[in-house]
């Protein structure tokens, strides 16, 4: 069992690196995995629709099937879990349960609830572009938060965009409501990630306007 590290948010962000080589013998207790996912799910989202779903693959046989889909990247097999971050293309369907719950808890008035639901349904109606953009954008917030939560608990991750999306959808029977945003490995490094150089703020920050 991994001892939870007591790091500040700043230390977690600086310690997180993408790890591609994992110890296949390390397991993550279900309670710790659930806590990582719970923290990931506390990420912000547009209209609080919580556009993410986490497809968690820990079955060795299924991970082996993911190997060719991920173009032979061994980390999908060796990591304890390979997690598919999914974006909800029909997140507007969550509006009513989200705002009914908010009304019940006294967070909003009935008028605000009705206005928010109407606003969301209007934004999504006949607009697949916004549905896709919101699904990818908001599920990415949760993915980043998952990686930070994992690092805070002493585990390593790697976000992956290199995979055959259509084959992944078929193999894991992913419903059309969801779009794979990225694949993410979670486990314990067997070889530490190599350091990377980063641009300085003088190259990254534009003040006020170009």
Strand ranges, E, within the chain: 52-57, 81-88, 156-160, 178-187
pLDDT for 84: 98
pTM for this model (two decimals): 0.93
CATH H-level, domain 7-89+127-190: superfamily:
NADH Oxidase (3.40.109.10)
Where are the chain's structural domains? Answer: 7-89+127-190
Question: Which residue stretches of the chain have pLDDT < 70?
Answer: 1-5
Q: Which helix (H) or strand (E) holds 35?
A: helix 30-40
pLDDT for 6: 82
**Per-residue pLDDT tens for 43-52?**
999 999 999 9
């Amino acid at each position: 069992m991994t001892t939870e590290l007591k790091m500040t948010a700043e230390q977690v962000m600086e310690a997180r690196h993408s790890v591609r080589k994992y110890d296949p013998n390390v397991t993550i207790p279900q309670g710790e995995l659930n806590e990582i996912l719970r923290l990931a799910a506390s990420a912000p989202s547009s209209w609080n629709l919580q556009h993410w779903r986490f497809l968690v693959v820990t079955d060795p046989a299924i991970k082996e099937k993911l190997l060719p889909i991920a173009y032979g990247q061994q980390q999908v097999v060796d990591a304890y879990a390979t997690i598919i971050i999914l974006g909800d293309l029909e997140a507007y369907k969550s509006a009513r349960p989200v705002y009914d719950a908010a009304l019940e808890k006294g967070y909003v008035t009935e008028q605000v609830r009705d206005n928010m639901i109407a606003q969301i349904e209007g934004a999504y109606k006949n607009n697949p572009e916004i549905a896709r953009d919101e699904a990818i954008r908001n599920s990415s917030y949760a993915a980043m938060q998952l990686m930070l939560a994992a690092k805070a608990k002493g585990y390593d991750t790697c976000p992956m965009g290199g995979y055959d999306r259509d084959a992944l959808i078929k193999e894991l029977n992913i419903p059309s409501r969801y779009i794979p945003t990225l694949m993410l490995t979670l486990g314990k490094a067997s070889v530490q990630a190599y350091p990377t150089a980063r641009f300085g703020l003088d190259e990254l920050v534009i003040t006020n306007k170009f």
